[in-house]
Amino acid sequence: MPHTTPQTPGLFSLSLSKTVEFALNQALRLDEAQGAAFKDFEDKTFAVTFTDLGLTLYLFFTSYGVNVQNALQGEADARIETDLPSLLGLRETGRLSRVTLHGDVPLAEALIDALTSIEIDWEEHLSHYTGDLIAFKVGHATRSAMAATQAAKRQAGETLKEYLQFELEVLPTASQLQRFGDSVQRTQAAVDAIETRVQALLDRL
């Protein structure tokens, strides 16, 4: 099977795909119709290209929800070419202002309709990216590197938060939990100290 090689899969596109995935899944969970509009898409694959960013996200639906990633083995069933302003305006205008469809065109149209039918504030979800998006678009090496670093930092913070919030229950007993809590604080302090030192070392390069 041909492998669709992703554009340099930097941290930027990685965290963007994760954000889009999160936004879609959250909207589907909150959707009054419980995502009924998406029922027919099970196992269908879509490629959504943002021409202004030169970036493609692959999107597909399984019974577990929406998945978004920046590579896909083989061809997507339908391809949608649009740009970021069109997506940001989707909620207000009820359509993608600039769009080209390829592959299974009716399928692509159905997806756009479904996306229009659920409440997603793309602007809000993508708001903390706008700076990064500009950096990315400019494509200037240092600026996109900075964006990647920022994204990585945010990501590291988020994963720890996510971990603390949702996964503490893996710990067996209350007393262990207590001990864990204490050690996390100490670990966090140690990690912070290391991070500062590594950063200091890197700064001296």
Partner 1 sequence: MNQSKKTIDFGFSEVPLEEKVKRVKGVFDSVAGKYDVMNDVMSLGIHRLWKRHTIELSGVRPGQTVLDLAGGTGDLTKAFAKRVGKSGRVVLADINESMVRVGRDRLINEGIAGNVEYTITNAEALAFPDNTFDLATIAFGLRNVTNKDKALAELYRVLKPGGQLMVLEFSKVTQPLLAKAYDFYSFNILPKMGKLIADDEASYQYLAESIRMHPDQDTLKQMMLDAGFDKADYLNMNEGIVALHRGWKY
Query: Is 167 an interacting residue with respect to partner 1 (CB under 8 A)?
Result: yes
Q: CB count, 10 Å around CB of 73?
A: 10
Q: Does 172 bind partner 1 (CB under 8 A)?
A: yes
Q: Which residues contact 47 (CB under 8 A, 6 or more apart)?
A: 4, 56, 57, 58, 59, 72, 76, 78, 79, 80
Does 73 participate in binding partner 1 (rule CB under 8 A)? yes
The dihedrals phi and psi of 5, each to the nearest 5 degrees, come to: -75, 135
d(CA 138, CA 144) in angstroms, rounded, equals 8
Q: How far is the CB of 194 from partner 1 (least distance, A)?
A: 6
Closest to partner 1 by CB, 50 vs 58, is 58
Parallel/antiparallel/unpaired status of strands 45-50 and 100-103: unpaired
Binding partner 1 by CB under 8 A: which of 4, 19, 26, 116?
A: 4
Positions touching partner 1 (CB under 8 A) are: 1, 3-4, 6, 9, 11, 14, 17-18, 42-45, 58, 60, 62-65, 67, 69-74, 152, 155-156, 159-160, 163, 167, 170-172, 180, 183, 186-187, 190-191, 194-195, 197-198, 201-202, 204-205
